[in-house]
Structure 1
Amino acid sequence: MGRAMPPARPRPRAGLPRARPRPSRRDLASARLWPCWRWRCRAGIRAWGGGGTAALRLRLARPRSRPRLLPGPVEDTGGAAAPAASAAASPARAPPLGSAAAGPEPPVPRSRERTPGHGPPGAGEGHSGVVAGPGPSADSRVPPAGTAQEALLERYRLGSLLGRGGFGRVFAATRLSDGAPVAIKRVPRNRVRHWGELPDGTSAPLEVVLLAKVSTGFPGVVQLLEWLELPNCIVMVLERPEQCQDLQRFIRARQFLPEEEARELFRQVLEAVWHCTSCGVLHRDIKPENILVDLDTGQAKLIDFGCGAYLQDTVYTHFAGTLSYSPPEWNDFGWYHGEPATIWSLGILLHQMVCGEHPFRRGQNLSWGQLPLPQRLSQECKDLIRWCLSVNSLDRPALEDLFCDPWMQDIPLP
C-alpha cells in the first residue's frame, strides 16, 4: 500500500481576493501584546548572554517605562537624595596620616617579602581597643574616620617615613604631651588576616594581641603604647628611642661586628626570644631589620610581630616570615617546628653579625653540611654558627643550649 497523500488545499479563485476571517477578542489582545512580548524576548536573549538566568528573570519582570522628556519631581528628588543617603549610611574614608601613607601598600612578590602571619583567629573582626590610654571601641561599628583621626593628631605630631614593607608603613612621630619620640605603624585593614583577644576581652589584630603579651615590662621588646582602628587601617603607636638604628644598617656601617660586640647584641636577642617563648609567642621573622639598636645605651629591641603566632608544640604548615630565612625542612617538606626554625634564623643572624652578609645568598648547597667561614673568627664562634645551621632540625641546639655554649659561657641563663 502506498503512503496516503495529504489532502490538497483549495486554491482561491483567480481574480478574486481571499476573504480574511473576522478576528476574535483573543486575536486582538494577542496583536496588542505581541510588540511587548517581542521586546521581552529580545531582552531575555540579551540578558542570557550578558548575565545568566537571574538577569533574564529581572528583565522579563520589569515593564518597559517611557522616558520622560523633562525631569519631574521623582527624578529631582531621587537623583539628589540617593547619593546623600549612601554617603550618610557609609562612614567616610580615613584621611592618611601623611601624604606618603595614602592608599594601601602595593603587593610585594612572595619570593622577596614576608607572607602573612598565621595563628588562631579571634572572635571576629571590626573591633578596636587600646593597650594604654583611651581609644575607640564598638564591636563592628567603626568610629567615623574624622573623629579618630583628629584624636590621633591631637596627641601626636607626625614626622618622616621610617620604613615600609608588605604590611604597612612606619612613621616617626612625637607625643605632644611630653615630647617623647614614638613610631606610628599604619597597616591597611585588608592586610589584617587574623584577630585575637586582649585580656579585657576586646578583639584586636593578632599583632596587637601578641605585642600586648610580650612588651609589658621587658626592655628587649618594643613597647606598644596605644592602638586604634580606622575604617580602612589599623594604627599602632610604638616606643622609639631618640637615637636608634636597625641592626641591618648598624652592621653595614661597620661592614661586620667584632665578636665581643656581636656577642653582647646576640645575647640580648636571645633574651628577647626567650622572653617571647615564655609568654607563648613565636616571632617567626627574626632578622637584622627587625632588631632595633639604641645607639645611646646599646640596648637591642625586637620589633615587628606582624608574622608572629601563638607558640605550639605541633608543626606549623603555613610559613610566615622572610623566605631567605626559612629552614630547610620548610623548603623540602612544607612544615617546621617553632623552636628549630627560630634557631635556624638565629644562626643566620649571628653569621650576618660577624661576617657582614647572609650565609646563603650566594647559592651554597646546604646538603654539603659545611659552611665556609672567615679564618679570623674564633673556633667557638664557627662551631656555634654551624650548630645552629644544621640541615637536620634534630641536630640543632635548643634555646637553652645557646646560653650554655662556650662562646656564650660568660652569659648567665635568664
Structure 2
Amino acid sequence: MIECFKDNAAYVLVMERLPHVTDLNDFLNDRGSLSEDDCRGIVHQLANALLRCHENEIVHRDIKLENILINPHTHDVTLIDFGCGTKLTVIPELQLSGTRVYYPPEWYTEGCYFGDRLDIWGLGIVLYMMVEGRRPFNNEEEIVNCKVYHSLDRKFSKSYRSLIKGLLHKDQEKRPTLEDILAHPWLCHYMQEPRVRRGLFSSLFKRFRR
C-alpha cells in the first residue's frame, strides 16, 4: 500500500501495481488444487496480513480467491481490494456485501456478524478451496448446515482437518483467532519470517483511522 486518504464519501487506498502476479482464482484454475505444503506458506502470509489489519482495527470483510494476488514463481501473496473493509468494532455488523458463497452462517441465522470472525471464515473458505479444489458450500442451505466434507480421493493430514474444522465452525465464537491459527500444529512449524511490512501498515492505518 502506497497511500491512503479520506474524501467526503469513502476512504481511498492507493496500492502498488505488482508485476508478474495473477489472482489466486486464476492460479488454481491453471494449476488445480495445491499440496498442503504449498498452502502453508500462503496461509501463513494471509494470516499475518490479517493480523496486522486487525491490530490496526481494520477488517477486510471480502476474503476470497479473487482478492488475493500470487506470484506463481515465488508464491508471495498480496491481499487486495479493501472496498468492503471497515473499522473493527466490538458490536455486531448489520450490513454485509462481498460475495455470497463466502457469507458466514451467522449472517443467515442471526442477521449479523463480527468482522474479524468473518475474515477468519473467509480464510477457511480460501484454504479449503486451495487444498481440495472446490467450494465447501455452494448455497445458503449448505452454509447454514455447515457440514464440511473432504474429498475421498485424497488423504489429508489430521492437523489440516483440525484447522479447517475450526476456521469453518458454525459458531463464530468458537473460530480460532489469528494468533491461534499461526500457532496451530498445521502452521506452527512454518517458521518463515512474515512478509508484511509492519511499519508501513502501522503508519498508514493510523491515518486511515482518523
For Structure 1 versus Structure 2, the TM-score category normalised by the shorter chain is 0.7 to 0.9
| Higher RCO (CA-CA < 8 Å; seq separation 6+) | 2
Match of 1:206 in 2: 10
* Number of equivalences: 190
> Which protein shows a greater Rg?
1
| Pairwise CA distance, 1:205 | 4.8
Stretches of structure 2 that go unaligned for 5 or more consecutive residues are 195-210
Match of 1:383 in 2: 162
TM alignment of 1:333-348, pairs within 5 A: 333-348=110-125
Distance 1:367 1:327, change over 3 A: closer
Between the aligned partners of 1:357 and 1:341, the Cα distance in structure 2 is 20
- Name the structure with the higher helix share: 2
Deviations 1:235-254 (A, max 9, x none): xxx42222110000111111
| Pairwise CA distance, 1:393 | 1.2
Match of 1:255 in 2: 32
Between the aligned partners of 2:141 and 2:189, the Cα distance in structure 1 is 33
| Pairwise CA distance, 1:320 | 2.2
User: Does residue 405 of structure 1 match 2:184?
Assistant: yes
Between the aligned partners of 1:362 and 1:335, the Cα distance in structure 2 is 18
* TM-score of the two chains, using structure 2 as the length reference: 0.82
Match of 1:311 in 2: 88
Superposition CA RMSD, Å: 2.3
Match of 1:327 in 2: 104
Distance 1:365 1:242, change over 3 A: closer
Moved over 3 A (4+): 362-370, 411-414
DSSP 3-state at the match of 1:239 = coil
| Pairwise CA distance, 1:345 | 1.0
DSSP 3-state at the match of 2:93 = coil
Distance 1:367 1:321, change over 3 A: closer
* TM-score of the two chains, using structure 1 as the length reference: 0.43
| Pairwise CA distance, 1:324 | 1.1
- Name the structure with the higher strand share: 1
Match of 2:200 in 1: none
Between the aligned partners of 2:185 and 2:107, the Cα distance in structure 1 is 29
Between the aligned partners of 2:49 and 2:23, the Cα distance in structure 1 is 16
Deviations 1:52-110 (A, max 9, x none): xxxxxxxxxxxxxxxxxxxxxxxxxxxxxxxxxxxxxxxxxxxxxxxxxxxxxxxxxxx
| Pairwise CA distance, 1:204 | 5.4
Between the aligned partners of 2:71 and 2:47, the Cα distance in structure 1 is 17
Deviations 1:222-278 (A, max 9, x none): xx2xxxxxxxxxxxxx42222110000111111101111111111111111111112
User: Does residue 301 of structure 1 match 2:78?
Assistant: yes
Distance 1:297 1:329, change over 3 A: same
